Structure 1
């Protein structure tokens, strides 16, 4: 959306802000927070003093009485710039909720924990309207009770933090305070399913002069199913939330040593058992026998289940001290994410057909170890900074270095999960139905490393003018070097009004997952099954298609805005932004023997119908507006707090960069359907208006969340799936029964709003409600108890 067209929206919203009130954040907690995006060791007074837009969300009220039980969904309904929609019918993407900022990909948002880079997941999202072809960070691998606050930096920051920080940065600050608390929660959908149990406890233990915070969490979320069994076009599907069981423990502490030195530690582990329903296979009388089913095993059809065993580990060890007046921070971070698939309630149709041809009943095993993948990352950081009060009115100079090692591997499944027992093209299809296993040819074990140095200078040139300049040089062992820079500044027109702006360059290195992921899977196009191979960069297929080696994405970020704080109880911010990304890495459209004959013989030999691959093929431009306003005021005998936030954005594909060998095939490389996955990964607009009224021991809360329109492409060329704007409401009430005990009840999406209905033969999940905007499950209710001891 052109910037001039956004200005009337801003002015109209600001006139509304004057009459509205409140705060979704606990503003008192902002006063001593070191804000992400600045290398200052001095704390910021509030988020309205920052050079670039930063939102700071205290997790206290969310933990004590919120209706969401995980971090991703909590932020989904707090931050308009943040999007995370649970997928269904999207294979591995059902098991890990991806998250992103400003409508860009999940791998274009950098996530930090206590200011240190957090690893991404091993999964590549292949299906679903959100984050197609991207990796991301699993926000739900951290327990809510362990988190003190979440800082959302809504600006490019690659020059400060390195790769991935194109859309912005999320910094999750963990607790390390003394005292203990516990939470017990229960929730379910109004339909009666999706039962969600939560038990969590935190205890900050004094060890010498330091404190070690220990958090343990157990969560059991049941499966939901919105399938309509009476709709013959959909069939016997399982469509809804994945069943998830999480067991998580986290430690976080800081311990003084001699002098001004201290050591700090963060360590966490989560084991997740998750299970999602794949597409159903038909029974006797359908075309799935003998191709994808056996009459002897599932005469009435069946739903295969994709079960994931996910293990996530994270460790930070560091030392802080002051050397010759310089604050020094030396740290080592290690993170890993591993996923292994087990496919149950399934069969290998080729094994069953071979058994039938040999005179047997036509039987196959019903579960298979389908293999999986893993990703690990080890990062060494040295950060040095010093504040000079007399240099240019007060300057903070920082510099540092980083060394990072990454590893990605794919492990093959058991033979039964992928073999074609009765021969290519004969009878039953190969592999476990629902998710065929990784083959020995898919197995890989790849590594790379990178080195970086950076410098940052923030100076208060006058009492009103502050500027910050940063530069970063980075070298990757697999694609070379890149240099990025950032310049930001703010000017105080008055005590209440501050103008700010920033310009930066950025980059995102191709992930190892995008470089080396390889798999053959079954997709359903308009309800019909088709085997598809996703070929890694440098493979026989990509070489035949003339696909060059992947290189980094390059970005240019511009933002300008203002903050207005007329008093301690009222704050307003507004920021316009533009993000241009060149050579964006996307998952191609599907090539076959008809639309690209050069691949025909290769695909026939593999026994598959279509091929996809990753390629630097797209340039995009994202323009948007972020608005926030908060106020607290006395109302009767209590206090009313109101918070209004809005994000309006539009991403446009501005160019297609087809490799020489694919010139003339641009419409296959990026079809309308694939283009809309990029341009409309999230709703065009998202706004949150929250009210909280507190009087004595009682607190009432109402939150209105508006999701703008969204358009997706159908499987049939020219068919557009248009999703109308939708608005949901959350209601909640809390009672401070004793100084230690708080009880809360409430409902989410209490009016049971769902996305616009579509033709199930055209949607990505094959159902008339797709996983867009806010999901398809409808209303839910919850109860929660919080106790301090």
Structure 2
């Protein structure tokens, strides 16, 4: 990670979730690192030395012997501040797992790779309780074996990085060391399904005085299904096939100049089961089914072809004592929908009315969308050891261009050929295709300047100040700032804190996404249009143009390290967000302003994005670790806890918006914002190492969570009780090169709280809210180092 590009608020941090033994082994490789939170390259320091909370999770143990086969689920069971739950029955959100920090939206967490901004996905999450109405970054588009460590900055960082860094920053540091290794893994649920195969290989080759690292990964995850016998639906994990390759390297040109390169590509074939349509005798014939095609009902499959690309090229130089870094980053994400085992009911009904059997095609190209981002950075920094006890001065500039497009599907995927409101409904069942009116091709650019000064005023007191000015082509300018500091009361005790302002620009996806889709309310189908900002529908409703969210972050805490074997950190935080962008409640045909438009579109309800909510998030982070001798081996113990509360402090209905506040943000929509993640999450881990054997037990606690119902009051909300699961693992270092691991996740088969299926988002009595609904799973891995 380039030193001048990184946050000046913390020097480094050691992961409290990796075992103390693993930390000791990794200290050499991290001996001199640049960590998210500092613009200086310096000896690695523990998390007890940082100005704000930063965790480093070494991924070697996770990759070589962990029970999770992708990055999002690995972090889900490592970091209490991190939330990522696999969805089911959530359309496109089933195909790409969203991820977020501190219970906020996935688009309020900035993700970096090697210190450079990572692009978001093209998808907008529309269903479910997780990250509703937001975009995010696909954490699973990078192969685990390519990752050296993951750094999580748990504090606002917009003054250093710009948009999205409200909840925090996740930096994924890729390997570039010589040597080769390979991993083979297998896992499945105790129910016998969801079979997961993984094969991955890494090789770092010395080249031109540097190292070029190449990683290839293949993953095949089978579908799981927890639906009751006789139920047509598939309730469980999406079927996924990933093919991924990544390159990462750095090469010296001369003593003062280096070039570096990162390039990666992933192709994903994913398939998720949509809601089932009933057969003969149900209300779905002829509106959503044809007796001639699926007399017993059917489950449409939403298939996604996802292509993710990422490239970084850069040049680092040292000029007159100043370190410079010029880089160009490009990333793109495309998703195309192919709907199978389906029909267009209007086509089948027209065929029936014309004397045919009532037949329609069973597969449709439903179109899709794409997002790309190109970022140019020029960063400069220099450390002055004699200036005020030691000062690091950094400044730089950034230019970013983004593009978003929607491609219409084939006519059969959206057309209504037997007439609006007549017989069969329009489009492919399961996921109606994007229409020509949805198609768009939009772009924008932004320019930014930043400056930063970190200074050691005394041996005990360190202060850092940063400011950033940024201008967007589509909504104007914003300026953010941050002040942080730490004070050592003693060698073992440190006080730290930070105050900052931040912002998040409305994504192009939120500005221009447009679609007509089918939702199920109380298990009954309803066609809904999501109208883009500036459309005829939103203009008629008086929806103003989207603008940036603004935030104020406060963090205060302390760290204690009484010995080399014990460390404790405690941090309190508050995040106030103004004009938060949310997905509105739904208006229907009874609305006097929008009713005629909805009737003309042949849909029942409409939604849109609007800046309408102020929120306040308060929380506590606690981490503790200890290493001790026990018998002939070593026992490592660690605890990590996050408690977070988000509340909607104000609902702002713009004067021009002809909409009631209760409709704009119903209780159900409010709970999506306030409790999109569990209100508490903790990890307690024990690892015992003796000789070639390592045993591990990890207890993960998920706090309570409440979601709204479709029916609303007086029907009570859905309350998910606190749940605790356990993971077990055993590793045998057979030889210096070969390591074998086996174990189980959620070994006591814990499930979420059972609910009324007519009120849950997936229409099933188990919904993946705090964690998954599949139950226990088992795994085995083999790791070989060449």
Gaps of 5+ in 1: 1-16
2-structure distance, mates of 1:560, 1:244: 42
- State whether structure 2 residue 736 is matched by structure 1 residue 735: no
Residues 599-610 of structure 1 aligned to structure 2 (within 5 Å): 599-610=594-605
2-structure distance, mates of 1:31, 1:77: 27
- State whether structure 2 residue 497 is matched by structure 1 residue 497: no
Partner of 2:502: 506
- State whether structure 2 residue 480 is matched by structure 1 residue 469: no
1-structure distance, mates of 2:22, 2:227: 37
Report deviation, 1:657: 0.8
After superposition, what is the alpha-carbon deviation per residue over 1:287-314, rounded to whole angstroms, capped at 9, x for unaligned? 0000000000000000000000000000
Partner of 2:9: none
Q: Secondary structure at the match of 1:253?
A: strand
Q: Secondary structure at the match of 1:598?
A: coil
1-structure distance, mates of 2:658, 2:91: 32
- State whether structure 2 residue 671 is matched by structure 1 residue 690: no
Contact 2:637–2:684 at 8 Å: present in 1 too? yes
- State whether structure 2 residue 89 is matched by structure 1 residue 89: yes
Report deviation, 1:537: 0.1
2-structure distance, mates of 1:453, 1:626: 32
1-structure distance, mates of 2:107, 2:20: 30
Report deviation, 1:25: 6.1
Partner of 2:10: none
2-structure distance, mates of 1:140, 1:485: 32
Q: Secondary structure at the match of 2:352?
A: helix
Report deviation, 1:663: 6.0
| Change in 2 beyond 3 A, CA 1:22/1:64 | closer
Residues 542-553 of structure 1 aligned to structure 2 (within 5 Å): 542-553=538-549
Q: Secondary structure at the match of 2:32?
A: coil
1-structure distance, mates of 2:519, 2:771: 24
2-structure distance, mates of 1:22, 1:226: 35
- State whether structure 2 residue 531 is matched by structure 1 residue 529: no
Partner of 2:765: 768
Partner of 2:579: 583
Report deviation, 1:22: 5.8
Deviates more, 1:658-667 or 1:682-691: 658-667
- State whether structure 2 residue 265 is matched by structure 1 residue 253: no
Partner of 1:6: none
2-structure distance, mates of 1:128, 1:38: 37
2-structure distance, mates of 1:287, 1:358: 22
Contact 1:385–1:398 at 8 Å: present in 2 too? yes
Partner of 1:361: 357
Q: Secondary structure at the match of 1:640?
A: strand
Contact 1:348–1:417 at 8 Å: present in 2 too? yes
Report deviation, 1:229: 2.3
Report deviation, 1:511: 0.1
Report deviation, 1:660: 1.5
- State whether structure 2 residue 105 is matched by structure 1 residue 105: yes
Residues 387-406 of structure 1 aligned to structure 2 (within 5 Å): 387-406=383-402
1-structure distance, mates of 2:494, 2:171: 24
2-structure distance, mates of 1:264, 1:695: 40
Contact 2:501–2:550 at 8 Å: present in 1 too? yes
TM-score of the two chains, using structure 2 as the length reference:
0.96
| Change in 2 beyond 3 A, CA 1:494/1:444 | same
Report deviation, 1:43: 3.9
Q: Secondary structure at the match of 1:26?
A: helix
Residues 149-228 of structure 1 aligned to structure 2 (within 5 Å): 149-228=149-228
After superposition, what is the alpha-carbon deviation per residue over 1:466-487, rounded to whole angstroms, capped at 9, x for unaligned? 0000000000000000000000
1-structure distance, mates of 2:695, 2:62: 14
1-structure distance, mates of 2:250, 2:287: 60
Partner of 2:430: 434
1-structure distance, mates of 2:233, 2:384: 64
- State whether structure 2 residue 441 is matched by structure 1 residue 448: no
2-structure distance, mates of 1:543, 1:519: 17
Contact 1:381–1:401 at 8 Å: present in 2 too? yes
2-structure distance, mates of 1:42, 1:443: 50
Q: Secondary structure at the match of 1:104?
A: coil
Report deviation, 1:48: 1.8
After superposition, what is the alpha-carbon deviation per residue over 1:199-255, rounded to whole angstroms, capped at 9, x for unaligned? 00000000021000100000000000000125xxxx411010000000000000000
Report deviation, 1:632: 1.2
Q: Secondary structure at the match of 2:588?
A: coil
Residues 307-326 of structure 1 aligned to structure 2 (within 5 Å): 307-326=303-322
Contact 1:35–1:43 at 8 Å: present in 2 too? no
Partner of 2:74: 74
After superposition, what is the alpha-carbon deviation per residue over 1:729-785, rounded to whole angstroms, capped at 9, x for unaligned? 000000001110000000000000000000000001100000111110000000000
Contact 1:128–1:771 at 8 Å: present in 2 too? no
Gaps of 5+ in 2: 1-15
Partner of 1:11: none
* Of 335, 340, 343, the match for 1:339: 335
1-structure distance, mates of 2:733, 2:42: 35
Contact 2:541–2:659 at 8 Å: present in 1 too? no
Report deviation, 1:24: 8.9
2-structure distance, mates of 1:229, 1:434: 21
Q: CA RMSD in A?
A: 1.2
2-structure distance, mates of 1:25, 1:756: 36
After superposition, what is the alpha-carbon deviation per residue over 1:556-583, rounded to whole angstroms, capped at 9, x for unaligned? 0000001111122211111000000000
1-structure distance, mates of 2:513, 2:22: 40
2-structure distance, mates of 1:258, 1:84: 44
2-structure distance, mates of 1:274, 1:285: 32
Report deviation, 1:694: 0.6
Report deviation, 1:45: 1.8
Residues 371-410 of structure 1 aligned to structure 2 (within 5 Å): 371-410=367-406
Contact 1:21–1:640 at 8 Å: present in 2 too? no
After superposition, what is the alpha-carbon deviation per residue over 1:39-75, rounded to whole angstroms, capped at 9, x for unaligned? 1233442222111100100001101100000000000
- State whether structure 2 residue 288 is matched by structure 1 residue 287: no
1-structure distance, mates of 2:647, 2:174: 37
Contact 2:542–2:658 at 8 Å: present in 1 too? no
TM-score of the two chains, using structure 1 as the length reference:
0.96
Q: Secondary structure at the match of 1:135?
A: coil
Contact 1:272–1:309 at 8 Å: present in 2 too? yes
1-structure distance, mates of 2:533, 2:320: 49
Contact 2:188–2:778 at 8 Å: present in 1 too? yes
- State whether structure 2 residue 717 is matched by structure 1 residue 710: no
2-structure distance, mates of 1:637, 1:414: 68
Report deviation, 1:664: 6.0
Q: Secondary structure at the match of 2:673?
A: helix
After superposition, what is the alpha-carbon deviation per residue over 1:382-413, rounded to whole angstroms, capped at 9, x for unaligned? 01000000001000000000000000000000
